[in-house]
Structure 1
Amino acid sequence: MLLSTDTFLAPGPAPERLWLNRFAGLGPTFYSHVAAAPLRDPYWVARSDALARDLGLPADWATPEALQALAGNTVLPGSVPLASVYSGHQFGVWAGQLGDGRALLLGEVQTPSGASLEVQLKGAGLTPYSRMGDGRAVLRSSVREFLCSEAMHGLGIPTTRALCVVGSDQPVRREEIETAAIVTRTAPSFIRFGHFEHFSHGGDHDALRQLADFVIDHFYPDARSAANPYAALLEAVTRRTAAMVAQWQAVGFTHGVMNTDNMSILGLTVDYGPFQFLDGFDPNHIGNHSDHQGRYTYARQPQIAHWNLFALGQALLPLIGDHDTAMAALEPYKTALPAELDARFAAKLGFAQASAPVNAVVNALLQLMAAERTDFTIAWRTLARHLAGAPADTVQALFHDRAAIDRILLQLQELPAQVGVRPDADLALKSNPAFILRNYLGEQAIALAKQKDFSMVQDLLTVLERPFDEHPAHAAWAGFPPEWADHIQISCSS
C-alpha cells in the first residue's frame, strides 16, 4: 500500500508509515539511492495550504519535525530517497547521461481523492548525476518554481505542484554567493522523455520495455489493449503534450528550456527555470538568456514540442517495431495542436467552439498585438471585461492604431450573426487571467525574501491560486509592468 497522508510527515516510528514507491520497484538500473545533504538551520519560506489540503495533511502539518524532514535533515520512516537516471537532448543536441542532479524522490503518497503523488526534494544536495553541479538550489530559483508551479495549477494547466520552500543561510555559489533552499514538489510521476532516451540510446532494450510497461500499466492503461501498446503510448503522450502546449500559448507562457529531459511523459509542465509570462506580445521573444539561438521562443514552442515527441518516438522505436508505425503515432499532433489552440483562443473570446470567423478575429487581434507589442494578459483581460459590459474605449486605449482595433471590434460584433451564438462573457473572463506571475513581481518577492520578509511570496501565492478573480487589495499586480522589467534576464541557473 502507499503511504497514507493521514500519517504523512507525522513523527515517530511506525511500520504503517512505510513508503512503498512504485518507481523504486523498477530496480537499481533506474536510480541510485542517495542521502540528502544536511541543510543548516532551516526555516520556512513559503507553504501552499491548497496543496497541503489536496494531500490530506492536517492544518497543523508544518511542525518542527516536518521542517527537518523537508530540509533533508531527517529521513521519514520507511522513506528511502533516490535519484533517477535519464538522458536527453539539450538545445537540440544529444547531451548523453543526465539524471536527477539535485532532486531526490522520497516516495509516494495516496491523497484523499484516491490519486497517488510522488514527493521530491529539489535542491537536496549532490547525487551521482550532478555532473559539475553542487546539487543545491538557491532561494531565488526555489521561490520562482514554488510560485509558478502553483500559478500554473491556478490557471488550470497540467503541472507539477509545490508544497513548500525551506530556506537556510547556508551559502551557495552561483554567479554570486546566494543562500540555499529546497522545494518540496509533487507529481503523479516525474518520468521524462529523457528516461526513455537513456535506455534506448544505451541499447538496454529490456530496461526500456520495463519502463514503458510501467508507464502504460500505471498511467495509460488503455494503451495495453491496443494492437501495438507502445505506439498507443506514444500517441497518447503526443495528444497530452499538444494540449499542454496549447494551454501555454493561450496564457503567453514561455517555458524557456524545452529540452527532452524537461518534458513530462504525463504532459505536465515540469522544471521551472528560465520561464516567463510575456508582457508585451512578442512571439519571437527569447525568455532564456542562455538560449543564444532563440530555440525556445514563444512562437517556436509548438514546433519544439513536436521535435521532442519525435525524439521520444525514436527512443521507443525498438519497442514499436517499425518507423512507419511510430510516425503514425506522432501524426495526430499535426491536427490536435491546431485544434487545441483554436479552442483555447476561441474561449478567450467567449466562444465554446472554434470556427473560421472566430479564428479570423483571434488572428487579427494577435497580429495587431504583435505589431504594437501590446501587453498580452492585459489586452485579453480587457477584451473579456468589454464582453462583460465595459465600454469599448477601454480596449481602444490599449492600441495606437485606432482604425485597426475598431475593425477588430466590429468583427467581434458581427460574430454572433456569423456563428449563430453570442459570446459568453463569463467564459471569456474564466479564460483570460487578470493575474500572472510576471518576472518583475517574482523579482520583488525574491528581493524581500532575501531579507527574510516572506510576506510578498505568500501574498502572490494567494492571488495566483485564483488568477481569474479580482483581488482589489493587489490590483496593481494586474497592471502594466514597470519599464525596468524589460531588462530582467533569466537564465538556466534561475
Structure 2
Amino acid sequence: MNNSYSQLPEVFFAEATPEEATSPKVVLLNKGLAESLGLEVEELNPEVLCGNELPEGAAPIAQAYAGHQFGNFTMLGDGRAILLGEQLTPSGDRVDIGLKGSGPTAFSRGGDGLAALGPMLREYIISEAMHALGIPTSRSLSVTLTGNDVHRENILPGAVLVRTASSYLRVGTFQYAAARQVPEDLKELADYAIERHFPDIASQDNSYELLLGNVIERQAALLAKWQLVGFIHGVMNTDNMTISGETIDYGPCAFMDVYDPATVFSSIDVNGRYKYGNQPGIASWNLARFAETLLPLLDENQDEAIQIAEKQLARFGNVFEREWLNGMRAKLGLLDEQPLDEALSKELLLIMKDAQADFTNTFRALTDENVEQPVWFSEDAFCEWKKKWETRRKQQTATIEESYEIMRLSNPSVIPRNHRVEEAIEAAENGDFSVLHKLNQVLASPYSYSEEQVDYTKPTDSSAPYRTYCGT
C-alpha cells in the first residue's frame, strides 16, 4: 500500500489518526472484494479493519475539499473518513482504501467523526447492490463493531466501514483548489486527476478540456444508470460527485418503489432539490461548477475558456439522453434503434405514473410473463401501449428469445427494497445478522430471476412515507 494523493501539496489533506476501538468485532467481510484487491483475507483481522493497526505502507490522511451543499458553497473535508492509502491490485488498478466512522479529523467541524452500526450496514448493503447491478460505485470491504458508543438521538453501537474506490477525487476537491486561488495547486491537482483516471490524454495539448469532457461523459452515463433502476442518491452535493464517475456517499439514499419523478426520501431534502426527476439536472449543474474551477487551465483568455467549457457542458444532455434511451431500449428488449423508441419509452413511464406502478416490478413482469402480473396491465392505456411495443419488437431482426434475453440482463428482479434494508439493519442491531446475510446473498445476483428472490420482490405494504437519514 502507498499513498500517491499525499504527494500533492499539503493543503489538500491533513494527517489523521483513527480513534482506538476498545473491542473490535468484524460483522461483515467482503472476501470476494478482498481477493480482487490482492489482499490476504486471513490478515484482515478486527484490529486492522477498525484502524487500531495500520497496514504496511499506510499513510492515513483526511482529504480536504469544498462543496455546494444544497446549493450553498462551503469549505469542507473528510470529517469522519480517513484514507489509509492506495492498493495496487493484481490487475494493475490503483484503488483507494479508507475508513469511515473512525473518529474526528482536522475537518470534523465539531463532530465526533464516528459512525453508528446502522448507517455503515446501509452503505455496505446499497454499495454492494449497486456493484451487482453493474453501476460504477465505491465498494464496501467490511463493517466492524468498535465496542464504543456513539451518541446521536440515542446511544448507538459504533462501527467502522472499510470502503474502496478508484479514487475519492471530487468536484469539491477542485472547488477547494479554485477557492484558494493558487494556480499552481489547481494545475497540480488537475494533472494528478488526469494521470490517475485518464492517462491517455496526458500528452494532449488540450488535456484539461479533455479532462472536463471525460468527467462529463462518465457522470452523464452514471446518472442514466441511476435513473434506469430507480436509484435516488439523496444528497447530490458537489462534494459527493466524483471525477472517476463512481457513486459515493450512501447516506440518505434509497430505491424507488412506486414510479414518480417527484420521489424524495431524504429527511433533510425538504424542498425536493435532489428528487428522482431532478437528478440529471443537478448533475449538469454540479458539472458546471467543475467547469468553473478549470477555466484558468482551459485558456488564458477567460472568454475563450468559457466558450470551451460551455461546449463541453452542452454534451451532458446528449450523452445522458443517449445512455438513458439505449438503456430503455434494452429494458424493453429492443436491440436496434428506431425514431419512435423514445416516445414509446416515455409513454410507458407516463402510464406507470398514472397507475402508481412499482418501477422494478413493472419491468420484471414485462421480462417474465410467469411472474405475477400487475393488475393495471389489464387497463386500456397499458393494453394499447403493449400492442405498440409488440409491433415494435416484431420490426427488428432479433428473435423474441434474443429480445427477452437482453431484457433479463437489463431489468433486475430484485433491488434493495427499503423495508427489507430496514428489516436487516434492525435485526443486526439486535444481534441477528442472518437477515442481513440473506439479503446480501439475494442482492448479489439481481438478474438471476431465482425462486429465492420472489419474497424480496414485494414492495412494502405500509402507506407511511419512507424517510432516510444521513447518520451523522
TM above 0.5: yes
Q: Deviations over 1:281-308 (max 9, x none)?
A: 1110112110011100110100000000
Unaligned runs of 5+ in 2: 300-304
Partner SS, residue 376 of structure 2:
coil
> Is contact 1:101–1:130 with CA below 8 Å preserved after alignment?
yes
> Is contact 1:212–1:230 with CA below 8 Å preserved after alignment?
yes
Give runs of aligned pairs for residues 341-490 of structure 1, distance below 5 A: 341-386=324-369, 390=370, 394-395=372-373, 397-399=374-376, 402-422=379-399, 424-483=403-462, 486-490=464-468
Distance 2:317 2:459 in 1: 35
Partner SS, residue 232 of structure 1:
helix
**Could you say if the C-alpha distance between residues 167 and 471 of structure 1 is closer, same or farther in structure 2, counting changes exceeding 3 Å?**
farther
Question: Offset at 1:110?
Answer: 1.5
Counterpart residue number, 2:302: none
TM-score, with length taken from structure 1 = 0.91
The residue type equivalent to 1:126 in the other structure is P
Counterpart residue number, 2:28: 46
TM-score, with length taken from structure 2 = 0.95
Question: Offset at 1:201?
Answer: 1.4
Partner SS, residue 85 of structure 1:
strand
Distance 1:23 1:278 in 2: 36
For the pair 1:328 / 2:306, whether they are aligned, the reply is: no
Indicate the percent of aligned positions where both proteins have the same amino acid: 36
Question: Offset at 1:237?
Answer: 0.2
My pick for the range that moved more, 458-467 or 421-430, is 421-430
Question: Offset at 1:234?
Answer: 0.3
The residue type equivalent to 1:364 in the other structure is E
Counterpart residue number, 2:198: 220
Question: Offset at 1:449?
Answer: 0.8
Distance 2:419 2:266 in 1: 15
The residue type equivalent to 2:127 in the other structure is S
Counterpart residue number, 1:20: 2
Question: Offset at 1:168?
Answer: 3.0
Counterpart residue number, 1:85: 64
> Is contact 1:151–1:465 with CA below 8 Å preserved after alignment?
yes
> Is contact 1:102–1:127 with CA below 8 Å preserved after alignment?
yes
> Is contact 2:224–2:323 with CA below 8 Å preserved after alignment?
yes
Q: Deviations over 1:246-298 (max 9, x none)?
A: 00000000000000000010000000011110011111011211001110011
The residue type equivalent to 1:399 in the other structure is W
Counterpart residue number, 1:35: 17
Question: Offset at 1:459?
Answer: 1.5
Which of 235, 238, 246 matches 1:260? 238
Counterpart residue number, 1:193: 171
Counterpart residue number, 1:10: none
> Is contact 1:342–1:354 with CA below 8 Å preserved after alignment?
no
Distance 1:375 1:464 in 2: 18
Distance 2:377 2:444 in 1: 33
Question: Offset at 1:471?
Answer: 3.7
Partner SS, residue 340 of structure 2:
helix
Question: Offset at 1:491?
Answer: 2.3
The residue type equivalent to 2:196 in the other structure is H
> Is contact 1:357–1:419 with CA below 8 Å preserved after alignment?
no
Q: Deviations over 1:188-223 (max 9, x none)?
A: 111110000001012122111100001111211232
Partner SS, residue 77 of structure 2:
coil
Distance 2:64 2:457 in 1: 41
Distance 1:493 1:319 in 2: 38
Question: Offset at 1:175?
Answer: 2.5
Question: Offset at 1:420?
Answer: 4.6
Distance 1:165 1:27 in 2: 32
Question: Offset at 1:71?
Answer: 0.7
Which of 284, 302, 308 matches 1:306? 284
> Is contact 2:334–2:393 with CA below 8 Å preserved after alignment?
no
**Could you say if the C-alpha distance between residues 152 and 88 of structure 1 is closer, same or farther in structure 2, counting changes exceeding 3 Å?**
same
Distance 1:68 1:126 in 2: 18
Q: Deviations over 1:360-391 (max 9, x none)?
A: 321111101111221111111111113xxx49
Counterpart residue number, 1:16: none
Give runs of aligned pairs for residues 175-254 of structure 1, distance below 5 A: 175-254=153-232
Partner SS, residue 118 of structure 1:
strand
Question: Offset at 1:475?
Answer: 2.2
Distance 1:301 1:195 in 2: 21
Counterpart residue number, 1:15: none
> Is contact 1:46–1:454 with CA below 8 Å preserved after alignment?
no
Partner SS, residue 132 of structure 1:
coil
Distance 2:11 2:212 in 1: 23
Q: Deviations over 1:311-330 (max 9, x none)?
A: 00011111112111111121
Partner SS, residue 86 of structure 1:
strand
The residue type equivalent to 2:48 in the other structure is A
> Is contact 1:355–1:419 with CA below 8 Å preserved after alignment?
no
CA RMSD, Structure 1 to Structure 2 (Å): 1.7
> Is contact 1:137–1:180 with CA below 8 Å preserved after alignment?
yes
Give runs of aligned pairs for residues 93-242 of structure 1, distance below 5 A: 93-95=72-74, 97-242=75-220
> Is contact 2:195–2:202 with CA below 8 Å preserved after alignment?
yes
Distance 2:41 2:19 in 1: 28
> Is contact 1:200–1:318 with CA below 8 Å preserved after alignment?
no
**Could you say if the C-alpha distance between residues 61 and 479 of structure 1 is closer, same or farther in structure 2, counting changes exceeding 3 Å?**
farther
Unaligned runs of 5+ in 1: 1-18
Partner SS, residue 202 of structure 2:
helix
Distance 1:487 1:302 in 2: 24
**Could you say if the C-alpha distance between residues 354 and 245 of structure 1 is closer, same or farther in structure 2, counting changes exceeding 3 Å?**
farther
> Is contact 1:374–1:398 with CA below 8 Å preserved after alignment?
no
Distance 1:226 1:292 in 2: 45
> Is contact 2:442–2:452 with CA below 8 Å preserved after alignment?
no
The residue type equivalent to 1:285 in the other structure is T
Counterpart residue number, 1:7: none
The residue type equivalent to 1:98 in the other structure is L
> Is contact 2:2–2:59 with CA below 8 Å preserved after alignment?
no
Partner SS, residue 215 of structure 1:
helix
Distance 2:37 2:435 in 1: 24
> Is contact 2:150–2:156 with CA below 8 Å preserved after alignment?
yes
The residue type equivalent to 1:67 in the other structure is P
